[in-house]
Amino acid sequence: MGGLNATLATAISALMADQGALDVTTNNVANANTPGYSRQRAVLTENTPVVIGPLTFGTGVNLQQVQSVRDPILQLRIDQETQQQGSLNSSVTSLQQIEVMFNSASGSDIGAQLSNFFGSVQQLSTDPASLSLRQGVLTAAGNLAKAFNNTANNLTQQQRSLDLNVTQSVQQINTLTSQIAKLNKQIASVQNTGGNASAFLDQRDQLVNQLSSLIDISQIKSDDGPTLTTSNGTALVAGGQSFDLGTQPDASGLQHVFAQGKDITASIASGQIAGLLQVRDQNIPALLSSLDSLASSFANAVNAANAGGFDLQGNAGGNLFVPPPVSGVGAAASMAAATTDPNAIAASSDGSAGSNGNLAAISAVHDQPIVSGQTPTDFYSNLVFGIGSDIANGSAEQNASQLTLQQLQDQRGSISGVSLDEEASNMILYQQAYNAAARVVSAINEMMDTAVNLGTF
């Protein structure tokens, strides 16, 4: 009876191990298309044998553990590339929205209105006493001022929109870090009791990857789970504890990112929030400054040219545009025509109504290096070209980063992904082993039943 019991125990251990391995295989098949899932592997080990004299008897098999197949170093590279991708995505998208403001297709952009203004001056030179043509110059001046106003205001509005996105990104970061800290506790609890925490590990990897798309992070492995910090060392998660980020407005009203009372805005190096800050704090202010310089220089140059001649009444010319601020700051947003009187255009160079001599001086502004050593048209064209160049360079980097990220994800898939062909093979293998063990159990049961009926004890 002792020998039969030992054999039965061996067969039963095989049944349990193969059943567990089949469960693992079934779970892999069920999650074949689950994003972030790492396939699991049943680790089977031989039970400790029994030694009786010169003989050694095996005691069966044991399902030692269910192991997730993952590459931590590869996952770290994916998170790092995700940070870069997040930064490029947000910056390129924001710049593309800005580019629309400088699109000449509608004919209402600054470049088109500059051309219209000088075209109206040229038309007036053919009949300097015509009130309709003079009104055309004033209309063109007003449209140009409006184009500057709209572009500057739209840029400011876009800046405020990006500022709101920064606040929302910080809130998303806090939500993710809280969830990661909670998972760290669950993983530690399961692992401390010898359980399988694979599902929780996959969830944590997914959350860390989402966090990487928002902000630059560094990971430090520890027994309580990874400690997450920003690249400059600001703590985000430590074991089961998370540390929230906050926002506070500066003097201009734009939100800065704070961690434990310290402003970390300037040190955020990558992730979506870094791309937002790049456009909000650098690209847009630079564009506004350039527009202010162009508007200020243009208005002053045209005013000076008009002041050099005489209006239709023979009076000395005045300003066609409201004089911009001395500092030039806000010149684009506040640019406006200084008069609605068509008689005020100083077309004459000698005070006579039929003279058009001073219109040449106004037209000459078109070719004068009035701003940063460039003509108004060249300066504006270079400004628009700069936006397009930034988008082209960013898009190229974005595509390269996406390709790298895709390659890394493909590598992860080859290691941690589920192969249905492999799982089907494993299922057949474990099923056959289970069937064989079941037959052994059935045979031992028959033998024991026979032994009992014969009265053998």
3-state secondary structure 169-180: HHHHHHHHHHHH
Going by the DSSP 8-state scheme, the letter that residue 281 receives in this structure is I
Domain membership flag for residue 411:
no
Domain membership flag for residue 447:
yes
d(CA 314, CA 305): 16
Alpha helices (runs of H) in 193-325, residue ranges in sequence order: 198-214, 272-278, 284-307
23: part of which helix (H) or strand (E)?
helix 2-30
What pLDDT, on the 0 to 100 scale, is given for residue 1? 42
- Quick one: tokens of 106? 């509608």
What's this model's pTM, rounded to 2 decimal places?
0.87
Domain membership flag for residue 82:
yes
Largest CA distance in the chain: 141
Is there a single domain that holds both residue 293 and residue 367? yes
What pLDDT, on the 0 to 100 scale, is given for residue 224? 65
Is there a single domain that holds both residue 131 and residue 10? no
Q: Cα Rg for the chain, rounded, in angstroms? A: 38
The alpha carbon of 219 is separated from its chain's Cα centroid by a whole number of angstroms, namely 20
Is there a single domain that holds both residue 128 and residue 210? yes
Is there a single domain that holds both residue 270 and residue 398? yes
Domain membership flag for residue 222:
yes
Decide: helix, strand or coil at residue 49.
coil
d(CA 197, CA 409): 22
d(CA 312, CA 305): 16
How does DSSP assign 156-171, residue by residue?
HHHHHHHHHHHHHHHH
Is there a single domain that holds both residue 61 and residue 207? no
Beta carbons within 10 angstroms of residue 114's beta carbon: 24
Which range marks the domain in which residue 282 is found? 77-405
Is there a single domain that holds both residue 211 and residue 286? yes
Is there a single domain that holds both residue 126 and residue 237? yes
d(CA 220, CA 238): 9
Domain membership flag for residue 438:
yes
Q: Which regions of the chain are under pLDDT 70?
A: 1-2, 104-106, 223-224, 455-457
Is there a single domain that holds both residue 428 and residue 359? no
Is there a single domain that holds both residue 148 and residue 228? yes
d(CA 418, CA 41): 11
Is there a single domain that holds both residue 64 and residue 85? no
| pLDDT tens-digit series, residues 92-138 | 999 999 999 988 666 788 999 999 999 999 999 999 999 999 999 99
What pLDDT, on the 0 to 100 scale, is given for residue 208? 94
Beta carbons within 10 angstroms of residue 316's beta carbon: 12
- Using alpha carbons, list the distances in angstroms from residue 451 to 8, 365, 444, 447, 456: 14, 116, 10, 6, 5
Domain membership flag for residue 448:
yes
203 residue type, one letter: Q
What pLDDT, on the 0 to 100 scale, is given for residue 353? 82
What pLDDT, on the 0 to 100 scale, is given for residue 5? 79
The b/e string for 143-168 (b: 16+ C-beta within 10 A; e otherwise) is: bbbbbbbbbbeebeebbeebbebbee
Is there a single domain that holds both residue 364 and residue 424? no
Domain membership flag for residue 410:
no
Q: How many domains does the chain have?
A: 2
Is there a single domain that holds both residue 289 and residue 272? yes
| pLDDT tens-digit series, residues 269-291 | 999 999 999 999 999 999 999 99
Domain membership flag for residue 412:
no
Phi, psi of 228 (to 5 degrees): -105, 130
